A and B are shown apart, each in its own frame.
Chain A
Amino acid sequence: MRKAVVFAFAAALVLVAIAATLYFFLRPGPLPHQANAPEMSATTQVINQGEYLARAGDCVACHTVPNGKPFAGGRAMATPFGNLYVPNITPDDETGIGKWNADEFYRMMHTGISRDGSLLYPAMPFASYTKVTRADSDAIFAYLMSVPPVHRENRKHELRFPFNKRELLLGWRTLYFKEGEFVADAKQSAQWNRGAYLVEGLGHCSMCHTAINALGGSKESQEFEGGMIPNQNWYAPSLTSNREAGLGHWEIKDIADLLQVGVSQRATVYGPMAEVVYNSLQYLSDDDATAMAVYLKSLPQRDSEAPPTSQARLVDPAKMELGRKVYEKQCAVCHGAEGKGFPPALPPLAGNQSITMASPVNSIRMVLNGGYPPGTKKNPRPHGMPPFSHILNDDEVAAVVTYIRVAWNNSGTPVLPNQANELRKLLPE
């Protein structure tokens, strides 16, 4: 055992040494200063466009501490490798990006290389932002330069060895990063291409909806196939499986509503997706929300996965009866005796893919902690669901989640009390 640890440690040291050497010769360094660099003279129009695009990219969500000054950074981002502290991106000369120019900003967005030449950790979604056009990058830069500068020193990241060695990012980049602006698909409509640009680029949807592996990378071949969000313990459903959040059978309007309004005839957003809608997607124009919907609906949809076998769906009748009793007392008033809900105010449970998908994590968390959808411009007064963690025990939570997963021809599988118990230990977030 100890031998293995020593060996792993030595291997890590060797890797770091190799990477450091490579890095020394390959490091990008600062951009050379251009004598004929264009003067900065952004018009209000460009700045407004930049604000819109910065919202589409949801910069504010990570670069602002709760209740703090916008874009001043400092927010701790928990990762499986330790805490990252998000930097100040206000135009303060000493502590922010006040001395940056548009070229340096574009290189950072496009390649994940900071002004001083250091490599960014991929918590900054440059693997998505690389698709952003130069014009859009310039507009976002002009907008960031227009916000009030905040003097706030960046805090050092607290990553464990060997992840605290930025040189190792060379390896990560070789494996998982493909540089390149978005290339329109001539066979598709302008609307589809606009949607693809937003989803794959600024929207950085794949950061959550594609599973990441032990190295914090994700495979392109598994894009949008869903996965647990590290450290948040919510499951980001697959956007390509009709058994999860695949949108193959959805109306375009329902998809656009879910993104922009937060509620729809089919489903409602909670948890991390509520944050995305609140900070970002609610500000999209109707055209852009629809374009994203068109693109998302067109993602390769797999109906191929066989629904769970009838064996897997077998439920102990006593458990089903307990679930039904809990449902009738606590849930039916909002979600209806037949699980149809009162959409868009109160979501349906019958036929709702987010309830029947293989991972029951989100349904269990909703029963335990309740939740409010985000208050948005088009739905400023959302209906909320109360927590039941103090009312229902693990058996009752498992029974009622099992009930909604299999009643009304829903195709889910039963849930065990220990699954409820595991999630009960987490703080709601």
Chain B
Amino acid sequence: MKLLASTPARVIAFVAALALHAAAGAQDHAVPAFGKVDSMEARVQGCVTCHGQSGQGTNSGYFPRIAGKPAAYLYNQLVAFRDGTRSYAPMNYLVAYLPDAYLREMAEHYAKLRPPFASRTPPSVDAATLARGQALVVKGDPAKTIPPCAACHGKGLTGMEPGIPGLVGLRQTYIIGQLTSWRVGERNTVEPDCMKRIATRMSDADITAVAAWLASQEAPSDPSPESSNLVRMPFACGSQR
């Protein structure tokens, strides 16, 4: 009798433990872990609580996926954070005293990784906004001379070698944050700063629409960036030189 009474309790406890474990498991890739001390994997543990063990990003919408972005793009960002030309205090602090060669190695490390994409978040906007977002990404807005995102960031939006980042796997909050800071001049890059030209032509509504549509897209079958194709680009971009 005693045994019988305790069994359902045990089952409940077991199920509860499983559920807890699953909840924790969702973020396990953001917990420090590595195989060998003398490895790149161990050296970049400084990145994992925000960008995930393989650069896939974490539950927080503010921290971008960095895996699979072009190495030169990632390197440019690391140098910009170190030298203060891109401002984000936690990153500026972390890489302040790291030499070029090491930042390049970190960039190459994450550029090679291809972790699976997190499941998409259904966009919290109406159908008209989504359609506007899709139009801007795929066709652009000739009336406002905004070229389509896909022209530079790739048909599959996986970026373009050497300096243009992929947009797949980024979340709405991050995209809105970056486009806005580009528009107000907080974020910028080497001249000619093509992204500044584009961002300053976008309204708040455009930015929301683009971010919502991009964040709702399924992962591409091949997340690798496209190879460099200068001829096709609508604007000259300093980061592509």
Contact = CB atoms under 8 A, between A and B. Distances in A.
Interface string B76-97: 0000000111000110111111
Interface stretch (A190-198, A356-364, A370-378): A370-378
A384 interface: yes
B37 A345 contact: yes
B44 A384 contact: yes
A375 B96 contact: no
Interface in A386-429: 386-391, 427-429
Given A334-B45, A381-B43, A387-B49, A371 B37 contact: no
Contacts of B60: 390
Contact of A386 (B42, B47, B85, B96): B47
Nearest to B40: A381
A6 B78 CA distance: 52
A382 B43 contact: yes
Contacts of A373: 97
Contacts of B50: 386-387, 390
A391 B30 contact: yes
Interface stretch (B98-106, B145-153, B175-183): B98-106
Which applies to chain A's interface (DSSP): helix, strand, loop or mixed? loop
Contacts of A369: 90, 93-94
B46 A372 contact: yes
Interface string A261-288: 0000000000000110110000000000
A330 B43 CA distance: 16
A260 B6 CA distance: 63
B33 interface: yes
Given A274-B96, A375-B99, A387-B90, A370 B84 contact: no
Interface string A129-172: 00000000000000000000000000000000000000000000
B98 A390 contact: no
B46 A384 contact: yes
A147 B152 CA distance: 42
A375 B98 contact: yes
Contacts of B42: 345-346, 383
Nearest to B80: A67
A369 B105 CA distance: 22
A207 B97 CA distance: 21
B89 A375 contact: no
A3 interface: no
B62 to A, nearest CB: 9
A32 interface: no
B38 A391 contact: no
Given A384-B43, A391-B30, A428-B90, A346 B37 contact: yes
Interface in A313-350: 329-331, 333-334, 342, 345-346
A66 B83 contact: yes
Contacts of B45: 334, 383-386
Contact of A375 (B49, B84, B97): B97
Contact of B49 (A277, A374, A386): A386
A389 B60 CA distance: 13
A372 B95 contact: yes
Contacts of B92: 428-429
Contacts of A388: 49
A371 B96 CA distance: 9
A380 B44 CA distance: 13
Nearest to A65: B84
A380 B84 contact: no
A275 B96 contact: yes
Nearest to A334: B32
Contact of A380 (B33, B85, B102): B102
Contacts of A382: 43, 98, 102
Q: Counting chain A CB atoms within 10 Å of each CB, which of B31, B42, B92, B93 scores highest?
A: B93
Given A372-B94, A386-B48, A386-B50, A429 B89 contact: yes
4 smallest CB-CB distances across A and B, nearest first, come from A384-B46, A374-B97, A428-B93, A67-B83
20 contacts: A67-B83, A275-B97, A277-B97, A278-B97, A329-B31, A369-B90, A370-B49, A370-B94, A372-B46, A372-B95, A372-B96, A372-B98, A380-B99, A383-B46, A384-B43, A385-B45, A387-B50, A390-B49, A427-B93, A428-B93
Given A333-B31, A346-B37, 17 more contacts: A67-B84, A275-B96, A278-B97, A333-B34, A345-B37, A345-B38, A369-B93, A370-B94, A371-B93, A374-B97, A375-B98, A380-B101, A380-B102, A382-B98, A382-B102, A383-B42, A388-B49
